[in-house]
Every structure is written in structure tokens, then in C-alpha cells.
Structure 1
Amino acid sequence: MKLLTTTFAALLCSASIAGACEITLRSSDTHPDGYPTVEGVKAMAAEVQEKTGGRICIEVFPSSQLGEEKDTIEQTQFGVIDMVRASFGSFNDIVPVTQTLSLPYLFTSPEHQHAVLDGPIGAEIAEDFAERDLIALAYYDGGARSFYNSQKPIRTVDDLKGMKFRVMQNDVFVDMMAALGANATPMPYGEVYSSIQTGVIDGAENNYPSYDSSGHAEVAKYFTLDQHLMVPELVAVSKASWEKLTPEDQEIMRTAARNSATLQRRLWADQEKASEEKVIAAGAEIVKDVDKTAFIEAMAPVYAKYVTTPEAQDLVKRVQETR
């Protein structure tokens, strides 16, 4: 009886707080409930609600309930949706600087990426988003993509030569594989397992959680931790919704967003660790002694093709110099 009474009281308290919301912001995410990005925005929502005494509530809609990333980004620009969590890759056509920051081997580690985005460069990028009616609040971790295959351990660029890897249908990815001496084979994600199993391709590339959840570790046991691609995630709020808030409430939102980024990055690291342990237990071989410098140097022709303006060249230089 005491437990029921306590639960009922908690429900009444929750309902009371929800009823007190003067402003309710709708936030979209394509990932399922429980995913690190979703939990990050939920944590931000809880802090904002607490610090505003329940006046501002953020309602999180996971699992693409409000649409896919590109659609929800556009709706957020127009103020139809208040907030969105999306990958930098989905902003490429809207905020050009995001394409530069999605280049292979630009970030040498998750820590390097965090240092860049949490510093002056991250602040500059936020200004570019503001020009497109989006207020950047927090940069989340989207993980690092690495190569995995069914044939052999890959430690050097030479080990990749002639091998066939599935990549997303993306010109930069295709050119990246060519620069490494491998053959890019764009195909739907759902065909990768059987294609590795039957020898149509030798391998693919993705992060630990995807390598685990897709079952690819069963047919491609060699995972090379080269971390060739680290595409940031962004939490942004519509400029129209943002301008309705007082400066004090805006600061509460910014602080809560920064705190949520710290949590989200930790949750992502935990998820990666759990997936790594799982695939190792299942027999995967994780190759960590990689000649990463050689991989980075092999990207010269890719950068020459895609980093053509003085502004982009300066940005790449400053990112590489960030410690």
C-alpha cells in the first residue's frame, strides 16, 4: 500500500509539473528510445524543466515519429518543430561547413573531435547554423567508423589494396576507398551480411554498436580500429522558437544542452565498450596497432578534390592543429 501511495503521489507530482508548462518544445530524433542521443536530450529536458520550475518542457519524439532527419531539419528551420537532433551529414546541403567536418581522418580521436567542437571552431560553426535559422545548442558524439572484413587483419594501407568494401552511396566515401587502394561497392545496408558471407564483398565499415547489432561480426571477424570517419551529431533549436525565450531561459537551455552533451558522450562510450566486449567474446579480432599516419596521408587527393576554397582549407588546418 505504501508503494502504491508513493507511486500515485509521484504521478500526481509529474502531472502537476506537466500541467504547469507555459512553453512546450517538441524535439525530434530518428533513433529509438534508450539510444544515447535520445537519452541526452531527455536529460536536457529534465534539467530545463527543473531550473525553470516547470515553465519550459521539452517533449522528445524518438524513432522518427516526426519524420526523417532531413525533413525534420527543414521543419525546425521553419519553426514547425522546435528542436532536432541530427547528424552533420544530414546538414551538408544546408550548412556547407558540415561537409568539411565530415571528411575522412579529419578527427584523429573522439577526444580530438570534442576539443574542436567545444572550442572556438565549434562556436564559429554555430554562427553558420544561426544564419540558416537554427541555433546550435550541443554537439553529440556519433561514434567512429572503422573497417572490418572476412579475410585478414588490416594494419597498413597496403593491406587494403584490391579488397572490396561496402560503403554508403557517397562520392567522398568512394574516393576515400580509391585513395586507399581498395574498391568501393555501394549497396544497401541490409545486403551487407549476405554479401560478405557469399564473398561478393570482403567487408564494410561502421562503428562498434552497428558491427555488433547487425551481426556483421559473425561473417567478418577482423575489425580494424582506424576510425576513418567521425561525423558529429547536433542538437539544434528553431530560431523562431529560440527568440520567444527570455535571455535567462536561453542561458538555462544552453547550460542544460552542454551538460547533456557530457552525459551523451559517456553513454555512447559505454555503448561502444559493451559492443566491443560482446564481439570479442564472440570471436572477433580487434586490430588496434594500425599505421594511422599512413592512412591519413593517403587522403591527400581526397582533400585536394573536396577542400577547394581558402576558407575550407583554413578550417581543416585549424582542426588538425587543435589539441
Structure 2
Amino acid sequence: MRKTGLLGLAAAALTAGLLLGAATGQAKEWRGWNIHVPDYPVSLGMDAFAEMIAERSDGRLTAKTYHSGVLGDQPDAIEQVRLGGIDFAVFNLGPMGQVVPATNVVSLPFIFKNLDHMHRVMDGPIGEELSAAMAEKGLVALAWYDSGARSFYNTKRPIETPDDVKGMKIRVMSNDLFVGMIEAMGGNATPMAFGEVYQSLKTGVVDGAENNWPSYESTNHFEVAGYYSNSEHLIIPECVCINKALWDSLSADDQALVRQAARESADLQRKLWAERAEASRDKVVAAGVKFNEIQDKAAFQAAMEPVHAAFLEKNPELKELVEKIKATD
């Protein structure tokens, strides 16, 4: 009984400490979560963000990013940022849909025409609308990072048409939309943590996955899955997010400082992303990856129509938001 009581007191003290840190905004060094390796464009953008807020606040605000997923996988990290156990992070909006349903609209296959279209959408009123929905769940989106266009790669064959996905076990991020996307082409969707994908490809637990060039290259997935097919079916932005309680504790001046630093870090990240995507593609092609450009993406877009229809039937309140995205020039 005494041991249990002490453990309860310790847990209460930890919670109180986390809340105090969030309430003061300056009582501790902010901890940042990141899934990627240290030299990745996202990682470099986050490090620049931390450096900018420290410099511009004369050291009142300090932050450190923990890279390579050392603070946990993304679903856990989202909850930790919401609760204040982690202060800030860059999250892909794919898995975010499980927490903030409105963000699922950017995970609809082929919702964006290209990267530039995504930037225009997310940097405007639609991005603000999504930010408001995230704030209701304890996350404040400060800026939007690139995560490129996601395409299919696998261990078996080139993918030229949706029929080529039939029977394949494809790893996807944890979101029902992505499960539906693979099933619509006759594949078997397998949600799993990003860190498990390499070994799963190597051992045949899955036949393939889908991701962008830098992720395919930096994780060495190209060593075990040598077919890359340029479907570009998903263009999903990432958010620089901060715990809402921590954000609310900041003065208006500090909020402006932090938001400006986040936006400047996004400008840097997007530039580095474009450079890295080209370099990653060159590297894996030189290593012998069998790359094919999908000539007719219309067949894939048609295969996704039932996915869009099912999504809007389940979420009719998001139909207007989807239409706004499609109508953005």
C-alpha cells in the first residue's frame, strides 16, 4: 500500500512538473519530436527553428529536437504533444487524421495536383481552417513542411496499373484511408510503424510500401525493395506543431517570434527538400533500382473514386473543404 501510494505521488509530481513547464513557457528546455535521421531536411528545418527561437529570444526560449524517433513513434508522440509530455514536433498529417478528422482531407489520394498546389492550399485560408481544427485537440500548427510525393516501391515487380498491386502486402501509415486506398486496388494493406518497414521488406512480412524519394533512400529501403514506381498518389504536408497549453502561456510577442521562426524554418525545409529529393532519386537509380514512370495516372485516379466517395459519405461535413481544395488555383 505504501509503495503504491509513493508511486501515485511520483506520478502526480511528474504530471504537475509537465503542467508547470507548459504553464510558464520558459521553465524548461522544450523537447521536440522527429521521426527522421539528423541530416534529413525535416530534421535540419527543426534544428534551425530551435536555433532561431533561442537567438531571437536572447536565450529565454530554448529547444532541442530529438531525432530518429527516439521519443517514440508518431501516434504516441501526437498524444504526448497534446498532453504536454513533448513540447513540439513535426508530424505528417497522414496519421493525424485519427486524432483530427478534418486533416484526413489532405490524405485523400490525388487531392493535390502537385507540390506547388499543396503549398498554395496549406499557406492560405484552408491551412488556417485545418490549424483551427487541430487546436481543438491541443495542437497548434505553426507552419507546413514538405514531405514530397509518395509513390509505390516493392520487392516483386514494376507497378504500371492498379492491377499490378493486386495480392501485394503493402505497408501503409496508420490511417483507414490508406488501408482503403490499397484495398481499392486489390492489395493487402498492412499498417505498421515506420521503423519496422526495412526488416519487414527484407523478411517478406510485406511486399512493398509507399513513400517519397528521401525516405526510400535514407532508410535504405531501396536495398531490399528494388522496384520504385512513380505514382505520386499522395502529397501529404507535415505540420510544425506545438502543445496548445504551452503556446497559450506565451506572450503575444513570443508567439509572433515563434511562429515567424517556424515559417522561416519551413522555407528552409522546402528548399532542402527539393534538393534532397533530387539527390536521393539519383542515388537509388545509380544503385540499380528499377524505376518506372507511370504514364497513365488516370487509371489510379479512377480507382480512388470509391475511396473519395466512401470518405465523404462518412464525413459529409468535410465535403465543402474538399471542394475548396480542388478549386484552389
Scaled by the length of structure 2, the TM-score of the pair is 0.79
Equivalent positions of 1:64-213 (< 5 A) are 64-149=69-154, 153-157=158-162, 160=164, 162=166, 164-168=168-172, 171-180=176-185, 182-184=186-188, 186=190, 189=197, 190-195=199-204, 201=207, 203-213=208-218
- The answer to whether the 8 Å contact 2:105/2:318 transfers is yes
2-structure distance, mates of 1:269, 1:124 = 26
Deviation at 1:213, TM superposition (A): 4.2
Q: 1:303 to 1:27 in 2, by over 3 A?
A: same
- The answer to whether the 8 Å contact 2:169/2:188 transfers is yes
Match of 1:101, SS? helix
Report the equivalent of 1:287: 292
Question: Over residues 10-58 of structure 1, what are the superposed CA-to-partner deviations in whole Å (9 max), with x where a residue is unaligned?
Answer: xxxxxxxxxxx87632222232322222211211122222222222222
Deviation at 1:301, TM superposition (A): 0.7
- The answer to whether the 8 Å contact 2:95/2:175 transfers is no
Report the equivalent of 1:259: 264
Q: 1:49 to 1:90 in 2, by over 3 A?
A: same
Q: 1:253 to 1:216 in 2, by over 3 A?
A: closer
2-structure distance, mates of 1:233, 1:167 = 20
Report the equivalent of 1:301: 306
The alignment status of 1:244 with 2:262, answered yes or no, reads no
Pick one of 50, 53, 73 that aligns with 1:48.
Answer: 53
Match of 2:120, SS? helix
- The answer to whether the 8 Å contact 1:100/1:307 transfers is no
Q: What 5-or-longer segments of structure 1 have no aligned partner?
A: 1-20
2-structure distance, mates of 1:191, 1:78 = 32
Identity of aligned residues (%): 41
Count matched residues. 297
2-structure distance, mates of 1:210, 1:84 = 18
- The answer to whether the 8 Å contact 1:140/1:264 transfers is yes
Deviation at 1:176, TM superposition (A): 1.9
Q: 1:226 to 1:78 in 2, by over 3 A?
A: same
2-structure distance, mates of 1:161, 1:289 = 13
- The answer to whether the 8 Å contact 1:156/1:290 transfers is no
Residue identity opposite 1:315 in structure 2: L
Pick one of 307, 311, 315 that aligns with 2:321.
Answer: 315
- The answer to whether the 8 Å contact 1:31/1:64 transfers is yes
Match of 2:62, SS? strand
- The answer to whether the 8 Å contact 1:225/1:290 transfers is no
Question: Over residues 291-315 of structure 1, what are the superposed CA-to-partner deviations in whole Å (9 max), with x where a residue is unaligned?
Answer: 2233222211111112223321111
Structure 1, 298-307 or 166-175: larger mean CA deviation: 166-175
- The answer to whether the 8 Å contact 1:166/1:192 transfers is no
Q: 1:108 to 1:167 in 2, by over 3 A?
A: farther
Question: Over residues 241-276 of structure 1, what are the superposed CA-to-partner deviations in whole Å (9 max), with x where a residue is unaligned?
Answer: 112221111111111101101111222222221210
Deviation at 1:220, TM superposition (A): 4.8
Q: What 5-or-longer segments of structure 2 have no aligned partner?
A: 1-25
Larger radius of gyration: 1
Question: Over residues 191-236 of structure 1, what are the superposed CA-to-partner deviations in whole Å (9 max), with x where a residue is unaligned?
Answer: 213439xxx84x4432223333455545654422111122322111
Report the equivalent of 1:278: 283
Match of 1:228, SS? strand
Scaled by the length of structure 1, the TM-score of the pair is 0.81
- The answer to whether the 8 Å contact 1:167/1:173 transfers is no
2-structure distance, mates of 1:207, 1:288 = 14
Residue identity opposite 1:184 in structure 2: N
Report the equivalent of 1:36: 41
Report the equivalent of 1:58: 63
Report the equivalent of 2:234: 229
Deviation at 1:106, TM superposition (A): 1.6
- The answer to whether the 8 Å contact 1:208/1:276 transfers is yes
